[in-house]
Amino acid sequence: MKTINLEFILKYIRYILLFFIVIYLILLAGFYQGLTVPIVCSMGGLFLIFNSHRLPQKLIPPLAVFLITNLVSVFFSIDPIRSAYQFWLVGLGICLVFTLAVMLSSSDLKKAILVSVVLVATGMMTLSWFDVYRWNITYLQAIKNFAAAPSISYRLNGGNTIAAFYSLIFFLFLGFVFQVKNKLLKGLFSVGALLSFGLIILSSSRGALLGLIGGVSFFIYFLLQNTIHQNLKKLWGNKKLRSIFLVAVLVGFLALITFTIFYFYQASNHPSHGNPLTSRSEFWPPAIRAFFASPLVGKGLYTFASWYTSEVSTPPSQIFLHAHSSYFDILGGTGILGLVSFLWLAFVGGKILLKIDCFKNRNYLGVSAAIFAFAIHSFFDGLYLMIFAGFTFLIYLAYLFSHHLHTESPSIPNLSKKMFSLIFIIPVIGYSWLNYWQNEPLKDAVSLYKEESLPAAQQKILIAKDRNPAYTVNQIYTGLMFSDTSHHITQIALPAFEAAVALDPYWALNHANLAALYRETGNFSNAIQEDTNAVSLAPNWGLYHLNLGHSLEKSGDLTKAEQSYKTALTLNPEWATAYFFRQNEFRTSVVLSTEIVPIDIYETYENQLDQPYAIPLIRRAKQALSDQDISLAQDYRQLASIAYYRREPEKYELHWLDAEILAAQGNYKQAISQAEGTFYFVLRQGVYGPGSAGTSLYYDGVYRAPVLPVEFVPQLTTIPLPGEWEHRYFTLAEWYALNNDSEGCQTTLDQLLSYVPDYLTEYEKSSPCGGK
């Protein structure tokens, strides 16, 4: 009978544990947190404290200065709560790097963690290539019936985020290609490198390509360093060979430049990209101005979004969480002190890690090249916020540092390391528990609200607000949940939104929601002021002009109200036919005096069938339906499904088209189901228009909070069924009637009349339900 080798079993248990740690970090850490974070943080932090003697001594001073400058910026931040959370994440990342580095001390675990990353990356690459395959099959099937189909360029889902991750993976594969001796494994890793490179190209990420070029140059130089130095001396001594060599270098350089320019040109023509020379001009200036506003210590970690929304009309622009440059984020957030301390830390860390002898290990060289590429790409994107790439980057740093830790305990304990670890790690652990205690009631409140348990949700949100009143989201959600009754409005919702505006005065919707509550309570002067604040922050968004006009109208200032309404109609001409502007003679006169002709969304894309946009394709599909050519309509619909949109609400045009196709086929039951699903989202208005509730990145992006499925207080003035949507609601009622469902027809018609009470008389329609 064979004896069980306990050491062998423990070894593979460690491998499996390490594999699950990698899975959690790369795939789950950014999404599933809860109690897991403080528990893991406590275990890892205590483990690191007991192993603090193994930290590189030279790294302690710059690391301490870096943390101190970041902490100082928190106290001078325009949002200390948000900056404190980001500072904790920085500390958590540093703890993770050195905890993993200590765990990887044994050589077998060093290799095991790289293999674990390869396995996780292989699974993700498989999904990405399947997406490429699925998209191309859809495209080929859609164009087979067209003599001249529009060219729709593919972009890998995830864009810069996934490109940064696959760039890190490419260099890991590259290192294995030169490290392993087995030909089969060498071939497999070569295939992995090619596949990851292909995905980077398909992502059309220009920053990733520049990082890739830099990383490959780094890898080749240190791979062939001795050979290059020896041959250069020989080449330079031979005039003929020197000329050939210089010509070859020039040709190679020109080829690289040509490929890069072509790639940039192709990417700039993609609907999701801008001009490469100007695409960052929207983001870098706000970060630079934040720096000049506080050049020494900056305006606080992770506050770029506030600076951006204070300078750019948001909406219609999207919220951006970073300056599209990690270094500009550091400069604007922590000032010159933060940038200098970061560069010092990077310099000292680089001196420790970039040891020529270590590059003999090609895995080490590959990981180092990946870090170098990451640093280059970070100049053009905030990669530190990109979860897949960010955690993989930390794993790579841990792998590199694991080669440079002290392996034995000193005879005399190093007090500086011990004190540093205690002063640094204990607060990180403590904040993780504080954060959990503060945020759990907020998560519960959102979950209960989604379950339509409003009283229970209200109780939870009050607990969350009491535990952390300086957290803007707690105040906003309190205001949203307690805007249900007049008593709640005056006692709870109004004070909550006043606090929200004080905490974050840069988000226009906070002002608009507060204005709506002021208007509801008859405080028109305050309502006008807050609506004016919203308009000044987002002057290019009709919703805020509409609400300012409503407040001015309520106050009796019809002259200014008319101007605000006209501006709203100029920005949203489809509102001219909305019931809101038929409610009284004054509003009707505003529409008539502005001579606005409502435009069809499809007209804005006229003559753009050759462009990769969905709207002109949907228009052709609708024309085919009117010609009773269902097959052609389905072909156009299939093309539209992989095309692009300029605005988020446009995607619901495709959903409605699906319902129309089903109805044209006589399948009214499925058409009704599809239409009901479409209206469910369309009626969930958010700050970016119909169907956009919870998509603004304000709550889950800026504040990293769970998203409440409502953004407006009920008192905010909106156009619930803009443009064609009110007619489509009536069409839905007709479909119910054609499906012999008179009850569903009447319910739908009643809902339509609750939004547009004069619909039947205004459009001279009769009820399709056979009743009233």
pLDDT tens across 398-429, in order? Answer: 999 999 886 555 544 566 777 878 888 999 99
Q: What is the mean pLDDT of residues 292-298?
A: 94
| Token pair for 324 | 């599209």
* DSSP assignment string, 705-717: -PPPS--S-TTS-
Provide mean pLDDT across the span 55-82. Answer: 93
Query: Which whole number is the average pLDDT over 752-761?
Result: 93
In the prediction, which pLDDT does 258 show? 78
Question: In 3-state terms, what secondary structure has residue 76?
Answer: coil
Query: Cα(158)–Cα(164) distance, rounded to whole angstroms?
Result: 10
Sign for the CA dihedral angle at 544, 691, 152, 602 comes to negative
Assess whether pLDDT exceeds 70 at residue 740: yes
Query: Which residue, 139, 203, 129, 158, is CA-closest to 643?
Result: 139
360: tokens are 């003999």
Measure the CA dihedral 702/706/709/715, to 10°. -60
List Cβ neighbours of 441 (8 Å cut-off, separation of 6 or more). 460, 461, 463, 464, 467
CB count, 10 Å around CB of 270? 15
**Integer Cα distance of 614 and 152 in angstroms:** 10
Q: Is 70 exceeded by the pLDDT of residue 682?
A: yes
> For the ranges 52-56, 179-183, 325-329, 726-730, which has the lowest average pLDDT?
52-56
| 643 conformational bin, left if phi > 0, alpha if psi -120 to 50, beta if neither | beta
Q: Is 644 helix (H, G, I), strand (E, B) or coil?
A: strand
Confidence of residue 622 (pLDDT cuts 50, 70, 90): very high
Nearest to 564 by CA among 584, 583, 582, 581: 581
Amino acid at position 382, single letter: G
Q: Which of 487-501, 505-519, 521-535, 595-609 has the lowest mean pLDDT?
A: 595-609
- pLDDT bucket at 1, cuts 50 / 70 / 90: very low
Give the model's pLDDT for residue 376.
Answer: 95
Give the per-residue pLDDT at 610.
54
Lowest mean pLDDT among 85-99, 263-277, 473-487, 728-742: 263-277
Both tokens of residue 194? 């090619």
Closest CA to 461 of 446, 471, 451: 446
The DSSP symbol for 483 reads -
The beta-carbon contacts of 700-706 under 8 Å, at least 24 apart in sequence, are 701/305, 701/319, 701/321, 702/82, 702/305, 702/306, 702/319, 702/321, 703/82, 703/471, 703/472, 703/473, 704/85, 705/439, 705/442, 705/473, 706/442, 706/443, 706/446, 706/447
Check whether 88 has a pLDDT greater than 90.
Answer: yes
Residue in the structure block whose two tokens are 């100049």: 379
Examine the pLDDT at 612 and tell me if it is beyond 80.
Answer: no
The more confident residue out of 330 and 250 is: 330
Phi and psi angles of residue 691, each rounded to the nearest 5 degrees, phi first: 75, 5
644 bridge partner residues: 613
Answer whether residue 557 shows pLDDT above 80.
yes
Residue 149 pLDDT class (50, 70, 90 cuts):
low
Which own/partner contact pairs does 554-562 have at CB distance under 8 Å and 24+ positions apart? 554/519, 554/524, 554/527, 555/524, 555/525, 555/527, 555/528, 557/528, 558/586, 561/586, 562/586, 562/590, 562/593
**Structure-model confidence comparison of residues 522 and 409, the more confident one:** 522
Residue-level pLDDT at 771: 58
Find out whether 59 and 349 touch, Cβ atoms under 8 Å. Answer: yes
Among 8-22, 301-315, 509-523, the range scoring the smallest mean pLDDT is: 8-22
Is it the case that residue 239 has pLDDT exceeding 90? no
CA distance 513 to 712: 6
- Give the start-to-end residue ranges of the domains of the chain: 127-401, 601-762
Could you tell me what percent of the chain has a pLDDT over 70? 89
Question: For 294-325, what is the HEC assignment?
Answer: CCCCCCCCCCHHHHHHHHCCCCCCCCCCCCCC
Amino acid in position 2: K
- Average pLDDT taken over every residue of the chain: 88
**pLDDT top residue among 227 and 211:** 211
Higher pLDDT: 281 or 347? It is: 347
The domain made up of 601-762 has a fold known as: 1.25.40
Averaged pLDDT, 197-221: 92
* Contacts with 592 (C-beta within 8 Å, 6 or more apart), sequence order: none
**In the chain, helix, strand, coil percent, each to 5?**
70, 0, 25
Distance CA 692, CA 710 (A): 10
Q: Specify the higher pLDDT residue, 159 or 123.
A: 123
C-alpha distances out from residue 515 to 56, 294, 519, 522, Å: 56, 31, 6, 10
pLDDT at 454 over 60: yes
Which of 119-133, 407-421, 734-748 shows the lowest per-residue confidence on average (mean pLDDT)? Answer: 407-421
Does 469 score more than 70 pLDDT?
yes
Residue 543 and residue 527: Cα distance in Å, rounded? Answer: 15
- Quick one: DSSP state of residue 702? I
Q: For 559-577, how does the pLDDT look when each residue is reduced to its tens digit (9 = 90+)? A: 999 999 999 999 999 899 8
Closest of 211, 177, 210 to residue 193, by C-alpha: 177
Please tell me the predicted confidence (pLDDT) of residue 399: 95
| DSSP 8-state symbol, 489 | I
Whether 622 and 633 have beta carbons less than 8 Å apart is answered as yes
Query: 460 pLDDT band (50/70/90 cuts)?
Result: very high
* Alpha carbon distance 575, 595 (integer Å): 13
Question: In this structure, which amino acid lies at residue 612?
Answer: P
pTM of the model: 0.91
